[in-house]
Chain A
Amino acid sequence: KAGVTQTPRYLIKTRGQQVTLSCSPISGHRSVSWYQQTPGQGLQFLFEYFSETQRNKGNFPGRFSGRQFSNSRSEMNVSTLELGDSALYLCASGPGGFDYGYTFGSGTRLTVV
């Protein structure tokens, strides 16, 4: 079965711009979580969507937002980009229960210049 698909794979943006990243989960999975990975901080949880509702949120500023569509695809938006937003953004999908390991996509590498 198809895995988790993230687009685009690479992105270069200028400070102050905004960006939208996309994640298509594994078919049948209703939970999509987003993580930011940087060399200094490692993987940090941004938020999770389940059945089009944000179920959990990490400690990131309001510039980071997301949404989920009825087909479970999710988008993440970052507004007013800062240099420190340069990172690998990973999404993970799962069926939505507790006892499973999430499947990650290959990520979107965002560079802010």
Chain B
Amino acid sequence: EDKVVQSPLSLVVHEGDTVTLNCSYEVTNFRSLLWYKQEKKAPTFLFMLTSSGIEKKSGRLSSILDKKELFSILNITATQTGDSAVYLCAVAHTGTASKLTFGTGTRLQVTL
């Protein structure tokens, strides 16, 4: 059975801190790993990672994939209260572009 596990389940940090969110996976036919941010309802796409070792960056967020050890991390530097959300990791499978297997998410709360 395909599994995507995220840790920690929840996290409370102070504004300005740096956080690292983890995602490990055991899936058949891995194609790519995606990160989403869910604040209220609609998950918002952050990154898609297909190749090992290539960091993707967007502002204060960055992510990297390790296909040998089957995990990915999402880093957020200089956190802001607007970063408070649930961060979801998902795996896309070869041959079935649309079916994403999601982890249960990491709830991040950034306090002043």
Contact = CB atoms under 8 A, between A and B. Distances in A.
A60 B67 CA distance: 30
Interface stretch (A11-19, A63-71, A77-85, A104-112): A104-112
Given A42-B105, A99-B32, A101-B34, A56 B96 contact: yes
Contacts, number: 71
Given A90-B43, A107-B41, A102 B100 contact: yes
Interface in B59-110: 88, 90, 92, 96-105
Given A88-B41, A104-B42, A99 B96 contact: no
A55 B90 CA distance: 19
A104 B43 contact: yes
B51 to A, nearest CB: 11
User: Chain A, interface size: which category?
Assistant: 20 to 34
Interface residues of B, number: 27
B111 interface: no
A101 B45 contact: yes
Contacts of B41: 88, 90, 106-107, 109
Contacts of B88: 42-43
A101 B48 contact: yes
Contacts of B96: 55-56
Instruction: Sort A-B residue pairs by CB-CB distance and give the 3 closest, nearest first.
Output: A101-B45, A48-B98, A43-B102
10 contacts: A3-B42, A35-B100, A43-B100, A56-B99, A88-B41, A92-B98, A100-B48, A102-B45, A104-B42, A106-B41
